[in-house]
Amino acid sequence: MEQDKLHNILNKTEFTKEDIVFLLSQTGEGRTRLFKKANAVKQEIVGQKVYFRGLIEFSNICSKDCFYCGIRKSNTHVSRYVVTDEEILYAAKYAYENDYASLVLQSGEISSPAFVDRVDRLLKEIKKISNGKLGITLSCGEQSPETYQRWFASGAHRYLLRIETSSPKLFYKIHPKDETHDYIRRLKALKDLRLAGYQVGSGVMIGLPFQKLEDLADDILFLKTLDVDMCGMGPYLEHEETPLFQYKDELWPKEERFDMALKMVAVLRLVMPDINIAAATALQAIDPAGREKAVTLGANVIMPNLTPTAYREEYRLYENKPCLDEDAEQCKNCLEARIHLAGDEIGYGEWGDSKHFKKRKQKDEQSSQN
């Protein structure tokens, strides 16, 4: 009876919350069948290519005080840094010369005029040194609609802004309840990004304190309703210099968080077959083969770290972050081998834009004409 139910759900194209909870509950043979189906859908819809996004974590200065994050404003035990323009452009040049085709510029959340101007300048410089060929994703937090539009005009075309949890109740258990950490404001920022023309990405943490299976099912439905073009999500990993660390003994074991993260990737691939899904670095913090395991069941984006190694130790959102001492070339070679072992190929020289975005853009254009 259970196998028949699983068969029926796996062959659906529209999923209820109950369907998703059932899939996330699978173990043993059921889990294997879920993973196999997700991989088949991935191969059919987005193909076997995995796209590199060279990651530059260019500053750990943050105005936010999120209860889970190691670079939160109140953590006085972290050394704050800003990567120089020259170092950022050197990393961008490396990505361009090695056919990565895309970069991610990521930082703590700040929105000062000087910060906005700097990102704008860097976007223009990166476009210049790559002859306009490097795609650029930004992950720089909440900004004004005008800033989003300005950065888009200067060359950014993807933006990742994670919601972390779609539950307002849980949101305020992992964030301070103040105007700087506002759930509605986060939602508005995601809508502003879409209006500015970006490919929009969001994501959640898996295995948070107080989180239930039903919350994770709601997260997937939220991403579907939000109509995201890409998603980055991974297991919650605690950091001792954060308020949530006090709940460390109440968490699911790391292996369970890891397994649930894989199931979330697989289920999201079924629910949103044509989006881009990143294999989160946090997976590798639990299992050395974590990222390639995600690739075999739905993920199609990996972010090799191009941040200069001198800074990486201080961009530690969680404990046991991997690849802190690997230089760009070592990271590239390692990921190449891992992806090939997973049975996929790397889409060198290709932006690897979200197929979902292309369809969404066509619909939006048709709607505006009617």
Look at residue 98 in the predicted model and tell me its pLDDT.
93
Out of 120-124, 137-141, 284-288, which region has the weakest mean confidence (pLDDT)? 284-288
Spell out the residues 6+ positions from residue 118 whose beta carbon is closer than 8 angstroms to its own: 85
Mean pLDDT of the chain: 94
Distances (CA, A) of 318 to 66, 144, 239, 282, 286: 12, 28, 5, 8, 12
Residue identified by tokens 């290709």 is 350
Nearest to 283 by CA among 163, 165, 180, 203: 203
Nearest to 165 by CA among 213, 218, 240: 218
Look at residue 370 in the predicted model and tell me its pLDDT.
63
What's the whole-number mean pLDDT along residues 72-83? 96
Spell out the residues 6+ positions from residue 359 whose beta carbon is closer than 8 angstroms to its own: 274
Q: Does domain 2-364 have CATH number 3.40.50.10310?
A: no
Distances (CA, A) of 278 to 91, 180, 200, 223, 247: 21, 27, 13, 14, 28
DSSP labels for 189-245?
HHHHHHHHT-EEEE-BEES-TT--HHHHHHHHHHHHHHT-SEEEEEE----TTSGGG
Helix, strand or coil, per DSSP, at residue 52: strand
Predicted confidence (pLDDT) per residue in 296-314, tens digit: 999 999 999 999 999 999 9
Q: What percent of the chain has pLDDT over 90?
A: 87
Q: Look up residue 169 and give its two tokens.
A: 């109740």
Domain boundaries, the chain: 2-364
Nearest to 53 by CA among 369, 361, 332, 364: 332
What's the whole-number mean pLDDT along residues 324-343? 80
- pLDDT at residue 323 tops 80: no
Distances (CA, A) of 337 to 91, 249, 283, 355: 21, 36, 17, 26
Out of 25-29, 273-277, 280-284, 336-340, which region has the weakest mean confidence (pLDDT)? 336-340
Q: Look up residue 23 and give its two tokens.
A: 């899939």
CA 217 to chain centre: 18
Predicted confidence (pLDDT) per residue in 183-230, tens digit: 999 999 999 999 999 999 999 999 999 999 999 999 999 999 999 999
Q: What's the rounded Cα separation, in Å, for the pair 194 and 366?
A: 16
**Exposed/middle/buried for residue 322 (C-beta within 10 Å: 0-12, 13-18, 19+):** middle
Give yes or no for a contact between 52 and 302, defined as CB atoms under 8 angstroms apart.
yes
- pLDDT at residue 368 tops 90: no
Out of 8-12, 110-114, 236-240, 357-361, which region has the weakest mean confidence (pLDDT)? 357-361
Predicted confidence (pLDDT) per residue in 228-275, tens digit: 999 999 999 999 999 999 999 999 999 999 999 999 999 999 999 999
Q: At what angle do helices 28-45 and 2-10 cross, to 10 degrees?
A: 10
What's the whole-number mean pLDDT along residues 327-339? 81
